[in-house]
Amino acid sequence: MRTGNLTTWLLRGTYPRLYVSIVAIILLVTGVRYHYLLAAETDEALQQGSTELRRASDPLQLRLAAEPAPDADTVTRILTEGLAQAAPAVASIKWQAADQPAIEVTAFPYPAVAPKWFTDWLDLSAPVQQSGLALADGTSGRLTVTAHPQPLTDQVWATVLVQARISALNIFTIFFLLTLLLRANARMLQRLAQATDAFRQGYLSTRMEVTGTLESRAMAETFNDMAGKVQSLVLSLHETQRQQSEQLHFTRQLIDALPLPVFVRHADGTYLDANRAWQRLFQSQPGADGAAGASLPAELAPERSARIASAHDNEIRIRPPHQPPLDMAYYEAPFTSTNGELAGTIGTLVDVTERKRAQEALRAEKERAEITLASIGDGVITTDLGGRIETINEAAQLMTGFTADQALGRQLDDVFRLYEEPASRTASAAAERDTQPGGLQQATYEVLIHRSGERYAIEYTAAAIREGSGHAAGCVLVFRDVTETRNLRHQISWHARHDALTGLYNRAALAEKLTHALFVARNKQLLLAVCMLDLDHFQAVNDTFGQRVGDRLLKEVARRLGAFITAHEAVARMGGDEFVLLLGEQPDVPAIEARLAVLMQQLAAPYAIDDRLVNITVSIGVAVFPQDDANPDTLLRHADQAMCQAKSFGRNQLHVFDVQHDHAVQTQHTRQTRVARALHAGELVLHYQPKVNLRTGEIIGLEALLRWQHPQEGLLGPQHVLPLVEDTDLQVELGEWVLRQALAQMRVWSDAGMGWEVSVNIAAPHFHRPNFVQRLKDILHTCPEVSPSRLELEILESAALEDMQYMRRMMQSCQALGVRFALDDFGTGFSSLSYLKRLPAETIKIDQSFVRGILEDGDDLTLVKAIVALAAAFHRHVVAEGVETAEHCAKLLELGCERAQGYGIARPMPAADVLPWARDHAARHAARAVQEAARRPASI
């Protein structure tokens, strides 16, 4: 029973239980309070009664003591008067003399004010005071005064009554306020219950009105916040379900649209579904549950299919109903459930019957061709379009010195080495003449360099190998040895290594001699002096006496140089009035300087030419090995620098190159001159780096990047060029060259059907030229076929902030021509929102230093996220630079950045490689889309 009562009590509402508890506490506190109040008031009443008794007793004692021999009447009178004076506090007065009867006077009954029940309950004992008294006549007695209890009880009752009224008022006030509070909370809970019921019934837009007390408003705001989040979550779940449904439908259509037969198998080995191509191949229809297991060939049983797919030769022979056997390649890939567990396998078949027939036919054709090539006496080499050797017959192997195993796959110019012209240039020229039907190049009496170094005079023809579409696919070279006489070979060899005017070694022979001299110097641990000689004021001799005298003077100088050197030394003419002297096996630098001082004296002696004396001096620069431990080209360059220093000292001087000092004094003009020569010689080229849409794989454009194809150092980056031309006219010339090259390449791509956009970096000093807009307009007019809107100029963010007004005006003028702009390296220039708003750039490029760190550095991630949001807010495109991995791509897509470029997508490449890369990129992206669709968890 008690358990039932407790359960009933606990099932009641919180507020009723709280209300009863508060009432119980108030009653308990009130009871305790009145208990102590009655005790205190009773004590006080008794004390007051005792006081009244003393006040009544003291006068009586005095009067009785004053009587000499009081009789009974006198005592009665005195007691009666005392009782009257002490009324109503005294109930009775009693006198008891010795050996005499007691005399007692009693007051009239006192009218009670307190109710009888209170009087009975209080049961207050009347105070009594007794005192002994000696009379004048020598007798004694006892006076007893008894207080009346009713006045004391009334006094306590009056106090209790007043306190009861006060307590009743307090309790009423407390209960009134408590009732108001509970009613307010009850209304609040009722509103909450109504809103909750509506929300439970599906009215997700239900909200509570924010009114009432502070707690009511707080509860309403909390409910509304919760309701908003729940509504957003429910809507998001509905949208996710819709997208998943659409994705499932799309995946089903995608698989059905594939021309390849595809089936889906559960992890337990049961077959779930097959696409239409599979059903057509095996002439079957799926069952009611979508399974196609009945039409699965025995060759693809679960225990065999995995072994076939993982084998190197994954081909099997399938025998479809009512069809001849087919050779098929089998592929399979696992797919997982949402929790990552293996859910099953997706398999597909690729018909390779025709391919195998074609391969067999090609093999037979190749055997016939090899037999034919082996039977002829001419050398035959075929290459692909990239210049890599595909076939080489025995005659060609004998003439080049390379066996077939050594030559196949190598570049043509590594095997077929012509002294005058690189073979790769010939092969490329032949391959590029795809618009000239029957194009053929024939060169007679060229020099072929055998692998051993021996040279042969040959005659060869080069022609392009074309596909059925007419496009070049490679090159075929046919050549024969035409060295009928040793004289022709000797003549060719001599002219190839000597200067025609002086008979001295030329540059090529000097390179061989210098390489050999360095080898000897290293082995013998002696010094080698590379001396660059330049005749002082030689041009004045030509201008004064004519070129014939100048040539005679050069021959005479060459004769004196030849007479000066020893058998283990060499001299060569570099061209013009420059000579190079190699002094080997030298003990020290002073010995070198002493020998060259003697040479300068000999060369300064007058020259007798046509009955006239010609005087000339020479400036010499020396680079000493191994003090200058460099390669041959660097030694020659250092000697040339030292010679320039000698001329700057006043000519007819000798200067030895010092690695520490001469590097420091190399002038900026010299470096700029080298860059200018590279520009005019066609050594500078443009490479292009694609920019793609990470979500769709679409190529949205390319960035033109400068490269230097250095003849000695190979391909160099822009850091070897741009710092040398900064703030010079050459910088402007280089910038305009880049614009013209980019537009010309865009025209080539347009002819190929590719309307890609190309971005070009423009240096700030170039952009600030007053005539920049007019020059840009003139350059655009050189390629009217290319829309200016396809050209994008990239300006560094830091440069754009230097002169905001001028930069804005210049950008608007260029945009009037149709050109677009991008802010490069964004995030490094500390630009404000107002600057970004005022600069009319269509694109923002995030600096690669931030993009590379988004996977590990939280600050970089936050900054990239902010830039993407900023670009979206200002309706700008955003491109992330420096993307290196697939993880970078995924993170950028997650942040909302869909455009990117970097080594993870493609490295900068020559223009000729862009179209093949684009085709390969499109194929990879399509294959990746199919694989991703196959890996997605699905219940089919």
CATH superfamily of 357-491: PAS domain (3.30.450.20)
Contact (Cβ atoms closer than 8 angstroms) between residue 878 and residue 659 = no
Distance of alpha carbon 553 from alpha carbon 562, whole angstroms:
14
Q: Which of 198-202, 271-275, 437-441, 901-905: highest mean pLDDT?
A: 901-905
Q: Mean pLDDT lowest for which of 341-355, 703-717, 821-835?
A: 821-835
pLDDT attached to residue 369: 73
Of the two residues 60 and 520, the one the predictor is more confident about is: 520
pLDDT for residue 906 is more than 80: yes
pLDDT for residue 840 is more than 50: yes
Confidence of residue 487 (pLDDT cuts 50, 70, 90): low
Confidence of residue 562 (pLDDT cuts 50, 70, 90): very high
Classify domain 676-914 by CATH number.
3.20.20.450
Bridge partners (DSSP) of residue 271 are 265
Confidence of residue 940 (pLDDT cuts 50, 70, 90): very low
Long-range CB pairs of 275-284, under 8 A, 24+ apart, other chains included? 278/349, 281/320, 281/349, 282/320, 282/321, 283/320, 283/321, 283/322
Amino acid of residue 152: L
Architecture of domain 10-174: 2-Layer Sandwich (3.30)
pLDDT attached to residue 218: 84
Instruction: Tell me the average pLDDT across 694-699.
Output: 91
Residues 38-87: pLDDT tens digits? 888 888 878 877 887 788 777 877 777 777 777 777 778 887 887 777 77
pLDDT for residue 228 is more than 80: yes
Tell the burial category of 410 from Cβ atoms under 10 Å away from its Cβ (0-12, 13-18, 19+): middle
Cite the beta strand spans of 610-680 per DSSP E.
612-614, 618-625, 654-656
Confidence of residue 424 (pLDDT cuts 50, 70, 90): very low
pLDDT attached to residue 670: 72
Number of continuous H segments (helices) and E segments (strands) in the chain? 31, 32
Residues 918-930: pLDDT tens digits? 999 888 877 676 6
Q: Which of 218-222, 280-284, 800-804: highest mean pLDDT?
A: 218-222
Handedness of CA 883, 888, 889, 893 (dihedral sign): negative
Instruction: Tell me the average pLDDT across 137-155.
Output: 80
Residues 575-634: pLDDT tens digits? 888 999 999 888 898 999 999 999 999 999 999 988 888 999 999 999 998 876 668 888
Task: Give which of 811, 901, 797 is closest to 844, Cα–Cα.
Answer: 797
Contact (Cβ atoms closer than 8 angstroms) between residue 417 and residue 424 = no
Strand 618-625 versus strand 758-761 pairing type: unpaired
In 3-state terms, what secondary structure has residue 125?
A: coil
φ and ψ at 204, to 5 degrees?
-70, -15
Of the two residues 701 and 726, the one the predictor is more confident about is: 701
Strand 315-318 versus strand 326-336 pairing type: antiparallel
Which tokens go with 484?
A: 């009928």
Label residue 99 left, alpha or beta by phi (over 0 means left) and psi (-120 to 50 means alpha): left
258-351 and 10-174 share a CATH fold: yes
pLDDT attached to residue 292: 46
pLDDT attached to residue 431: 43
Q: Mean pLDDT lowest for which of 289-293, 684-688, 814-818, 934-938?
A: 289-293
Bridge partners (DSSP) of residue 498 are 505
Contact (Cβ atoms closer than 8 angstroms) between residue 547 and residue 606 = no
Q: Yes or no: is domain 258-351 CATH 3.30.450.20? A: yes
pLDDT for residue 726 is more than 90: no
Residues 458-471: pLDDT tens digits? 888 888 888 777 78
Long-range CB pairs of 74-78, under 8 A, 24+ apart, other chains included? 75/103, 76/103, 76/105
Q: How far is CA 327 from CA 175, 301, 308, 350, in A?
A: 95, 17, 13, 8
pLDDT attached to residue 283: 77
pLDDT attached to residue 918: 92
pLDDT for residue 497 is more than 70: yes
Query: pTM here?
Result: 0.36
Distance of alpha carbon 587 from alpha carbon 790, whole angstroms:
65
Residues 733-744: pLDDT tens digits? 999 999 999 999
512-666: what fold?
Alpha-Beta Plaits (3.30.70)
Which tokens go with 368?
A: 């016939």
pLDDT for residue 523 is more than 90: no
- Mean pLDDT estimate for the chain: 82
* Cis bond upstream, residue 101 (ω within 30): no
Which tokens go with 425?
A: 């240039």
Domain limits of the chain?
10-174, 204-257, 258-351, 357-491, 512-666, 676-914
pLDDT attached to residue 610: 84
Task: Give which of 291, 309, 312 is closest to 349, Cα–Cα.
Answer: 309
Confidence of residue 190 (pLDDT cuts 50, 70, 90): confident
- The DSSP string of 269-307 is S-EEEE-HHHHHHHT----TTS--GGG--GGG-HHHHHH
Of the two residues 442 and 478, the one the predictor is more confident about is: 478
Cite the beta strand spans of 419-569 per DSSP E.
440-449, 455-466, 472-481, 527-535
Task: Give which of 532, 543, 481 is closest to 510, Cα–Cα.
Answer: 532
Residues 524-554: pLDDT tens digits? 888 999 999 999 888 778 877 888 899 999 9
Instruction: Tell me the average pLDDT across 883-912.
Output: 92
Amino acid of residue 364: A
